[in-house]
Amino acid sequence: MFFNKEMRFKVRSECKFDNSSKPSQWVETSLLPKGIPGTAAVDLSCVWHNLEDMVCTWRPGENASSDTNYTLFYWFHGLKNPKKCNNYSIHQGIFGCVFNFSFPKVTNTYPAISILIRDDSEEIRPVCASKNPTTLVKPATPRQVTLSKINDEIYVEWSESDTFPENCLFYEVEYRNGDLDTAQIAKVENNYMSIPSIDPNSKYIFKVRAKPKPACYSSELYSDWSEEKSIGEKVDSTFYLVLIITIPLIVAVSTIILLVYLKRLKILILPPIPDPREILKRMFGEQNEDSQSCAKDDCVNAYDRLIKEEEIHSLILTETPERADSENENR
């Protein structure tokens, strides 16, 4: 039943065992939806993750208030009473709720699931939807991807989900050579594969995802890609370019340092021989300077002695009359 739309009904009666009688006239009635138009939840979407959890998301109605608290109920055949989802979240204006939803792995049929979203307020219109769970299946991301190199082949292996029945999943393996931008995709039904004729000097990158087989489920949903794994070493051209530039530079610097060091070493081991002419010039030049300086010193000393003698004689001449006068006075 679509509770967010008007439902119309017609009823009439007729005789059960008398086909000749005419049925009664139709009696019409209608059931109007509750709540204000435009307040019901919209864009309801559900995904059944790994046959374990059902995740449903929706947006609020355009006329719903910002404080509207939507509540999700679900029910399927075999469940006595509808159950309420309690694990709610809101992200960027989108409501979401997660609830456990699982069946025995041996079952071949899955009942439809009915989902009701409403609010406690009578102003919010409820919305009800029926979903085929086999169309909502999304496998878990393959884990534990391992790579190994055997001769000229790469062996890839990953873990299988233990919630799916056997042989109900197939896998896509995307791989590419690190030197190329294009990738190749291989489809396999097992949880392993090998890539032959590889380039031993290249780096290879792998990732894996799973999808339900049509024989088991009607879902078109893939799992998320696994984390990328790589094997081998890619030849880096920039490394060789740096070597080409660095090696000549190192050689040039080393040569300059070696030449400077050898020049200094040569000076220490074989000092330069002095020129005899320069030695003689310096010797005679120093003697002339000494003789000139000595002559100048003698002249200065003689002049000083002469001055001292004159001073001494003048003192003698001055003191002698004074003594004579003093003797005459005493007499």
The distance of Cα 315 from the centroid of its chain, to the nearest Å, equals 109
Give the fold, CATH level 3, of 146-231. Immunoglobulin-like (2.60.40)
pLDDT tens-place string over residues 241-251: 777 888 888 88
Contact 111, 131 (CB under 8 A): no
- In this prediction, residue 269 carries a pLDDT of 65
Mean pLDDT within 201-215: 91
As given in the structure block, the two tokens for residue 131 are 């979903």
Q: Is the pLDDT of residue 125 over 70?
A: yes
Would you say the CATH fold of 146-231 matches that of 7-138? yes
β-strands 42-49, 137-138: how paired? parallel
Q: What is the pLDDT of residues 255-299, one digit of tens each?
A: 888 777 776 666 666 666 666 677 667 666 655 554 555 444 554
- Average pLDDT on 296-304 reads 50
How confident is the model over 93-118, as a mean pLDDT?
Answer: 86
Q: What is the mean pLDDT of residues 62-82?
A: 89
Backbone phi and psi for residue 293, each to the nearest 5 degrees, phi listed first: -70, -35
Q: Residues 96-124: what's their mean pLDDT?
A: 85
- Give the max Cα distance, the chain: 206
268: enclosing H helix or E strand: helix 237-269
What distance in Å separates the CA atoms of residue 201 and residue 204, rounded to the nearest whole number? Answer: 10
Q: Extract the runs of DSSP E, i.e. beta strands, from the chain.
A: 7-11, 27-31, 42-49, 53-59, 71-76, 83-84, 87-91, 94-100, 113-118, 127-131, 137-138, 146-150, 153-157, 169-177, 184-188, 192-195, 204-212, 229-231
Tokens representing 207 are 């990732």
Of 84-98, 176-190, 223-237, least confident by mean pLDDT is 223-237
User: Which residue, among 115, 128, 173, 114, has the nearest Cα to 34 in the 3D structure?
Assistant: 128
> Which sequence spans correspond to the domains of the chain?
7-138, 146-231
- The CATH classification number of 7-138 equals 2.60.40.10
Q: Which of 48, 50, 214, 46 lies closest to 140 in space, CA to CA?
A: 50
Q: Which pLDDT belongs to residue 78?
A: 83
Q: Please report the pLDDT score of residue 99 as a whole number.
A: 94
Distances (CA, A) of 84 to 30, 88, 136, 213: 29, 11, 20, 31
3-class secondary-structure state, position 318 = helix
Going by pLDDT thresholds of 50, 70 and 90, the confidence category of residue 300 is: very low
Per-residue model confidence (pLDDT) at position 102: 84
How much is the average pLDDT of 150-179?
Answer: 88
Above 60 in pLDDT, residue 325? no
pLDDT band, residue 146 (cuts 50/70/90): very high
**What does the block give as tokens for 138?**
């999304």
**Greatest mean pLDDT among 10-19, 51-60, 302-311:** 51-60
1-36 pLDDT tens trace: 666 667 888 999 988 877 777 888 999 988 776 778
When pLDDT is cut at 50, 70 and 90, the band that residue 213 belongs to is very high
211-215, 260-264, 310-314: which has the minimum mean pLDDT?
Answer: 310-314
